[in-house]
Structure 1
Amino acid sequence: MADLFNYHRRESSVVNVGDTPLGGDNPIRIQSMTTTSTDDTEGSVAQAKRIIDAGGEYVRLTTQGVREAENLKNINAALRKDGYNTPLVADVHFNPHVAEVAALYAEKVRINPGNYVDPARTFKKLEYTDNEYAAELQKIEDQLIPFLNICNKNHTAVRIGVNHGSLSDRIMSRYGDTPEGIVESCMEFLRICKRENFNDVVISIKASNTVVMVRSVRLLVDCMDKEDMHYPLHLGVTEAGDGEDGRIKSAVGIGALLADGIGDTIRVSLSEEPEEEIPVARHLVDYIGKRAGHLLVPGDEYKGFDYLHSERRKTNAVNNIGGENVPVVISNKIGSKDDQYKADYIYVGGQLPENINKDQNYIVDFNVYQELDKLGSLTSKDNIFPIYPYNATPFISYDNSKLKFLVLQFGAPSDEYLPCLKHHPEIVVVCVSNHQNRLGDQRALVHEFMSNGIQNPVIFCQMYRHSHEEKSDFQLEAAADMGALMFDGLTDGIWLMNDGDLCIEDINATAFGILQAARLRTSKTEYISCPGCGRTLYDLQKTIARIKESTKDMKGLKIGIMGCIVNGPGEMADADYGYVGAARGKISLYRKKVCVEKNIPEEEAVEKLLELINKDKNS
Structure 2
Amino acid sequence: MQNKQYHYCNSYFQYLRNKTVPVKAGNITIGGDSPIRIQSMTTTNTLNTEETSEQAKRIADAGGELVRITTQGRREALNLKNIKEVLLAAGYDIPLVADVHFNPSAAETAAELIEKVRINPGNFTGGAKKFRQIETGSAEDKAGMQMIKEKLVPFLHHCKKHNTAIRIGVNHGSLSDRIMSKYGDTPEGMVESCMEYLRICQEENFENIVLSIKASNTRVMVHAVRLLVQRMQNEHMYFPLHLGVTEAGSGEDGRLKSAVGIGALLIDGIGDTIRVSLTEPPENEIPVAQKLVSYVVQKTGHEPVRETNPQHYSPLSYVKRVSEPVLHIGGENPVAVVADIRNADGREINFSEPPELIICKPAQLNLQHKNLAGTLQLVEHKYYNKEKKNGVFPLFRSHDDWHLFHGIAFVEITYPELTERNIKRLREKKDVILILKSGNANSTAEQRAFFMTMQNTGLKHPVIIHGHYDDKRPEDFQIKAAADKGALFLDGYGDGICLSAPFIRIGDVVDTSFGILQASRVRFSKTEFISCPGCGRTLFDLQKTTERIRKETGHLKGLKIAVMGCIVNGIGEMADADYGYVGAGPGKISLFRNRQLIKRNVPEEKAVETLIDLIKSFGDWNEPVE
- State the TM-score bracket (shorter-chain normalisation): over 0.9
* Contact 1:201–1:232, Cα closer than 8 Å, also in 2: yes
TM-superposed deviation, 1:414: 0.8
Counterpart mapping for 1:4-19 below 5 A? 4-19=12-27
* Contact 1:8–1:292, Cα closer than 8 Å, also in 2: yes
Q: Which residue number corresponds to residue 400 of structure 1?
A: 406
In the aligned structure 2, how far is the partner of 1:563 from the partner of 1:132?
A: 32
Q: Which amino acid aligns with 1:459?
A: I
In the aligned structure 1, how far is the partner of 2:158 from the partner of 2:413?
A: 58
In the aligned structure 2, how far is the partner of 1:59 from the partner of 1:230?
A: 24
In the aligned structure 2, how far is the partner of 1:421 from the partner of 1:9?
A: 36
Q: Which residue number corresponds to residue 3 of structure 2?
A: none
TM-superposed deviation, 1:352: 4.4
* Contact 1:302–1:450, Cα closer than 8 Å, also in 2: no
Which residue, out of 365, 369, 375, partners 1:353?
365
In the aligned structure 2, how far is the partner of 1:319 from the partner of 1:40?
A: 61
Q: Which residue number corresponds to residue 414 of structure 2?
A: 409
TM-superposed deviation, 1:55: 0.1
TM-superposed deviation, 1:332: 1.0
Q: Which residue number corresponds to residue 556 of structure 2?
A: 554
Change (3 A) 1:484 1:46: same
In the aligned structure 1, how far is the partner of 2:425 from the partner of 2:131?
A: 54
Q: Which residue number corresponds to residue 508 of structure 2?
A: 506
Q: Secondary structure of the equivalent of 2:29?
A: coil
* Contact 1:109–1:156, Cα closer than 8 Å, also in 2: yes
TM-score (ref. length: structure 2): 0.95
Q: Which residue number corresponds to residue 616 of structure 1?
A: 618
Q: Secondary structure of the equivalent of 2:264?
A: helix
Residue 476 (structure 2) pairs with residue 473 (structure 1): yes
Q: Which amino acid aligns with 1:176?
A: G
Q: Secondary structure of the equivalent of 1:103?
A: helix
Which residue, out of 477, 494, 504, partners 2:497?
494
Q: Which amino acid aligns with 2:276?
A: V
* Contact 1:572–1:591, Cα closer than 8 Å, also in 2: no
Which residue, out of 416, 424, 427, partners 2:429?
424
The gaps in structure 2 that reach 5 residues or longer are: 1-6, 622-626
Q: Which residue number corresponds to residue 584 of structure 1?
A: 586
Which residue, out of 139, 153, 172, partners 1:145?
153
TM-superposed deviation, 1:441: 1.0
Q: Which amino acid aligns with 2:495?
A: D
Residue 51 (structure 2) pairs with residue 43 (structure 1): yes
Q: Which residue number corresponds to residue 57 of structure 1?
A: 65
* Contact 2:135–2:141, Cα closer than 8 Å, also in 1: no
**Would you say how many aligned residue pairs link Structure 1 and Structure 2?**
606
In the aligned structure 2, how far is the partner of 1:163 from the partner of 1:591?
A: 21
Which residue, out of 137, 141, 152, partners 1:133?
141
Bigger Cα displacement from structure 2, 195-204 vs 334-343: 334-343
In the aligned structure 1, how far is the partner of 2:188 from the partner of 2:347?
A: 44
TM-superposed deviation, 1:567: 0.8
TM-superposed deviation, 1:111: 0.3
Which residue, out of 278, 284, 288, partners 1:276?
284
* Contact 2:350–2:507, Cα closer than 8 Å, also in 1: no
Q: Secondary structure of the equivalent of 2:576?
A: coil
TM-superposed deviation, 1:120: 1.5
TM-superposed deviation, 1:444: 1.3
Q: Which amino acid aligns with 1:396?
A: H
In the aligned structure 2, how far is the partner of 1:413 from the partner of 1:107?
A: 52
Change (3 A) 1:97 1:464: same
Q: Which residue number corresponds to residue 367 of structure 1?
A: 382
Residue 337 (structure 2) pairs with residue 325 (structure 1): no
Q: Which amino acid aligns with 1:206?
A: K
Q: Which residue number corresponds to residue 377 of structure 1?
A: 388
Q: Secondary structure of the equivalent of 2:618?
A: helix
Superposed CA deviations along residues 447-471 of structure 1, whole A, max 9, x for unmatched, are 111111111111110000022xx11
Residue 189 (structure 2) pairs with residue 181 (structure 1): yes
* Contact 1:580–1:587, Cα closer than 8 Å, also in 2: yes
TM-superposed deviation, 1:130: 4.3
Q: Which residue number corresponds to residue 84 of structure 1?
A: 92
Q: Which amino acid aligns with 2:63?
A: G
In the aligned structure 1, how far is the partner of 2:527 from the partner of 2:193?
A: 31
Q: Which residue number corresponds to residue 605 of structure 1?
A: 607
Q: Secondary structure of the equivalent of 1:459?
A: strand
Bigger Cα displacement from structure 2, 422-431 vs 157-166: 422-431
* Contact 1:538–1:563, Cα closer than 8 Å, also in 2: yes
TM-superposed deviation, 1:336: 5.7
Superposed CA deviations along residues 395-425 of structure 1, whole A, max 9, x for unmatched, are 432x222x32111111126122101111112
In the aligned structure 1, how far is the partner of 2:152 from the partner of 2:620?
A: 50
Superposed CA deviations along residues 144-196 of structure 1, whole A, max 9, x for unmatched, are 01000110010100000001011111111011111100110111101111111
* Contact 2:402–2:411, Cα closer than 8 Å, also in 1: no
Counterpart mapping for 1:298-337 below 5 A? 298-333=306-341
Q: Which amino acid aligns with 1:90?
A: A
TM-superposed deviation, 1:232: 0.3
* Contact 2:486–2:517, Cα closer than 8 Å, also in 1: no
Change (3 A) 1:412 1:171: same
Residue 153 (structure 2) pairs with residue 124 (structure 1): no
TM-superposed deviation, 1:618: 7.0
CA RMSD after TM alignment: 1.4
Superposed CA deviations along residues 183-211 of structure 1, whole A, max 9, x for unmatched, are 10111101111111111100001111101
* Contact 1:572–1:590, Cα closer than 8 Å, also in 2: no
In the aligned structure 2, how far is the partner of 1:35 from the partner of 1:358?
A: 47
Q: Secondary structure of the equivalent of 2:465?
A: strand
Q: Once the two structures are aligned, what percentage of the paired residues are identical?
A: 50
Q: Which residue number corresponds to residue 467 of structure 2?
A: 462
Q: Which amino acid aligns with 2:378?
A: I
TM-score (ref. length: structure 1): 0.96
Which residue, out of 217, 236, 240, partners 1:228?
236
TM-superposed deviation, 1:219: 0.5
TM-superposed deviation, 1:351: 3.9
Q: Secondary structure of the equivalent of 2:91?
A: coil
Residue 446 (structure 2) pairs with residue 441 (structure 1): yes
In the aligned structure 2, how far is the partner of 1:557 from the partner of 1:499?
A: 32
In the aligned structure 2, how far is the partner of 1:278 from the partner of 1:168?
A: 31
In the aligned structure 2, how far is the partner of 1:395 from the partner of 1:572?
A: 48
TM-superposed deviation, 1:15: 0.5
In the aligned structure 2, how far is the partner of 1:200 from the partner of 1:144?
A: 14
TM-superposed deviation, 1:367: 1.6
Change (3 A) 1:605 1:413: closer
In the aligned structure 1, how far is the partner of 2:166 from the partner of 2:61?
A: 25
Bigger Cα displacement from structure 2, 491-500 vs 63-72: 491-500
* Contact 1:571–1:593, Cα closer than 8 Å, also in 2: no
In the aligned structure 1, how far is the partner of 2:350 from the partner of 2:612?
A: 26
Q: Which amino acid aligns with 1:400?
A: H
In the aligned structure 2, how far is the partner of 1:514 from the partner of 1:257?
A: 16
Change (3 A) 1:318 1:109: same
The gaps in structure 1 that reach 5 residues or longer are: none
* Contact 1:249–1:517, Cα closer than 8 Å, also in 2: yes
* Contact 2:312–2:452, Cα closer than 8 Å, also in 1: no
TM-superposed deviation, 1:134: 2.7
TM-superposed deviation, 1:592: 1.4
Change (3 A) 1:565 1:434: same
Q: Which amino acid aligns with 1:426?
A: D
Residue 547 (structure 2) pairs with residue 545 (structure 1): yes
In the aligned structure 2, how far is the partner of 1:306 from the partner of 1:267?
A: 26
In the aligned structure 1, how far is the partner of 2:139 from the partner of 2:258?
A: 41
Superposed CA deviations along residues 92-120 of structure 1, whole A, max 9, x for unmatched, are 00111110111011200000000001322
Superposed CA deviations along residues 263-284 of structure 1, whole A, max 9, x for unmatched, are 0000000000000000000000
Change (3 A) 1:159 1:513: same
Counterpart mapping for 1:253-292 below 5 A? 253-292=261-300
Q: Which residue number corresponds to residue 569 of structure 2?
A: 567
TM-superposed deviation, 1:557: 0.6
